[in-house]
Amino acid sequence: MCSYNKVNGKPTCADPDLLAGVIRGQWKLNGYIVSDCDSVDVLFKNQHYTKTPEEAAAKVILAGLDLNCGSFLGQHTEAAVKAGLLNESAIDKAVTNNFATLMRLGFFDGDPSKQPYGKLGPKDVCTQEHQELAREAARQGIVLLKNSPGSLPLSPTAIKTLAVIGPNANVTKTMIGNYEGIPCKYTTPLQGLTTSVATNYVPGCTNVACGTAQVDDAKKAAASADATVLVMGIDQSQERESFDRVSLLLPGQQPLLITEVAKAAKGPVILVIMSGGGFDISFAKNDDKITSILWVGYPGEAGGAAIADVIYGYYNPSGRLPMTWYPQSYVDKVPMTNMNMRPDPSNGYPGRTYRFYTGETIYTFGDGLSYSKITHELAKAPRLVSIPLEEEHVCRSSECKSVEAVEQSCKNLAFDIHVRVQNRGKFGGSHTVFLFSSPPSVHNSPQKHLLGFEKVSLTGKSETLVRFKVDVCKDLSVVDELGSRKVVLGQHLLHVGSLKHSLTVRI
């Protein structure tokens, strides 16, 4: 699917280098390319990429678009053909890509029910197995960001009373976000937590905007409970498609409510953030009274049960952040209209994503704790990798910082990294091993990038070996200033967690 945005000045749905060159060429797509809904309309009416709608219709089809989500091509393609902007063979090509997919699915002379999922129907939607899958998916997605000693997991036998506070503590629809299906049934956080411990529920705010917090009632509940769970965050009223947040702070008086409840609480205070994006919650991260922080995303219909599973220790959290959480000051430095990845010191632009941003973070891509202590040990890794080049290659006689990642030099050029992963704690569970690389500072290269990841299951006091295969030309290359992929020569730093390994690439 091609999207609404431009890449290097071209709308993605009108970019032949992207659709035909990368997607069909490099990625070898054997299917069809569809537009995001009304994105062709957007490139004409909003981005003003073409002067006429007929020209827009012609450009996207010639670029390699096969299917339009919306009515734009239905309205303007015939006129584009009559105007000589588009020939029928280009339309035939798009139709062929669409129909070939339908043929492979058995829609014309086959039996669709014999396809892998062909027999699924309404009877399968709310089976117990699928409801359990929703719960397991939510459990796996929960990220433990902070956990002071003696906080989580809570013992349901030791905790007699639990204060449950916050505007998202008893929500249903909030948990499924948007683009959602019809849930089989909801389990709210309050319902999930109440299954094991007696709870005292105080909303604290009438909604997530939290214009005025009911601080006193919340403080009383926390002061009399053995532990407190604050379920905060936002919902679709604050962030959704076509509705962006302008702040990275929790809305309204949520920070006040959290801080005051933490001061008054008798026992551990667990902060649960429900949201799609990150927040500057440095106040909570640095508050010793807030003993644990969980980010649960929008966890789906079984989200409340999954949250309780993690809080009570029935499930060892293993989720990792899919994005970096920035401080509020980041908003002032990064215009929405500037999507450049690399930082620009001349104007204070800090860059975007974990790959290029070097400033202060609240939490970083890949962060996530466990109830167990997990350690990594390098079992196998080379110190030196040599790239074979022809004798007459220019880099044989001159100093090169990088070499072209071409097929003849790259064929079968790979090596193995073996990492021994040890669970030194008593809790069993899953653990995701991330392998990052930091290349030499050439061609405005990223400070680090992800080469691969593997998720492993470990019982308490056990270990396993994780194997990564590193493709030198794919994984140790960067894109230069002209858009060509180059393998960078020199010292690369590979890291897994706190483990670091130096690797030299030479010719």
> Which among 320, 280, 318 has a CA at the least distance from the CA of 436?
320
pLDDT of residue 242: 87
Active site residue 36: yes
Residue bearing tokens 């130096």: 502
Spatial separation of the C-alpha atoms in residues 3 and 12, rounded to whole Å: 6
> Which among 330, 336, 349, 149 has a CA at the least distance from the CA of 244?
336
- Each residue's pLDDT, cut to its tens digit, for the chain (507 residues) gives 999 999 989 999 999 999 999 999 989 999 999 999 999 999 999 999 999 999 999 999 999 999 999 999 999 999 999 999 999 999 999 999 999 999 988 888 888 888 888 899 999 999 999 999 999 999 999 999 999 999 999 999 999 999 999 999 999 999 999 999 999 999 999 999 999 999 999 999 999 999 999 999 999 999 999 999 999 999 999 999 889 999 999 999 999 999 999 999 999 999 999 999 999 999 999 999 999 999 999 999 999 999 999 999 999 999 999 999 999 999 989 998 888 999 999 999 999 999 999 899 999 999 999 999 999 999 999 999 999 888 888 888 778 999 988 877 787 899 999 999 999 999 999 999 999 999 999 999 999 999 999 999 999 999 999 999 999 999 999 999 888 899 999 999 999 999 999 999 998
Residue bearing tokens 């319902």: 191
pLDDT of residue 461: 97
In angstroms, the Cα distances linking 23 to 16, 17, 473 are 10, 9, 19
Catalytic residue selected from 17, 36, 38, 217 = 36
Terminal C-alpha separation, the chain: 39
Whether residue 219 contacts residue 261, with contact meaning beta carbons closer than 8 Å, is answered with: yes
> Which among 369, 403, 357, 182 has a CA at the least distance from the CA of 292?
369
pLDDT of residue 391: 83
pLDDT of residue 240: 94
Spatial separation of the C-alpha atoms in residues 110 and 106, rounded to whole Å: 4
Whole-prediction pTM: 0.94
Residue bearing tokens 């009632």: 217
Residue 402 φ/ψ, nearest 5 degrees: -160, 165
Q: What is the DSSP string of 19-71?
A: IIIIIIIIS---S--BBPTTHHHHHHHTS--SSSHHHHHHHHHHHT--B-SSS
Angle at 47 between CA 44 and CA 52, to 5 degrees: 25
Spatial separation of the C-alpha atoms in residues 151 and 144, rounded to whole Å: 12
In angstroms, the Cα distances linking 486 to 16, 54, 351 are 23, 39, 22
Name the burial class of residue 282, with classes exposed (0-12), middle (13-18) and buried (19+) by CB atoms within 10 angstroms of its CB: middle
Whether residue 448 contacts residue 437, with contact meaning beta carbons closer than 8 Å, is answered with: yes
Helices (H), 315-357: 329-333, 353-356
Delineate the domains of the chain, giving CATH numbers in brackets: 6-114 (no CATH), 124-329 (3.40.50.1700), 372-506 (2.60.40.10)
Spatial separation of the C-alpha atoms in residues 355 and 352, rounded to whole Å: 7
Spatial separation of the C-alpha atoms in residues 319 and 458, rounded to whole Å: 15
pLDDT of residue 393: 85
Spatial separation of the C-alpha atoms in residues 249 and 252, rounded to whole Å: 9
Q: Distance between alpha carbon 337 and the CA centroid of its chain, in Å?
A: 21
Residue bearing tokens 């062909």: 118
Structure tokens at 319: 């989720």
Cis peptide before 382 (omega within 30 of 0): no
Angle at 400 between CA 398 and CA 401, to 5 degrees: 160
Structure tokens at 192: 């999930």
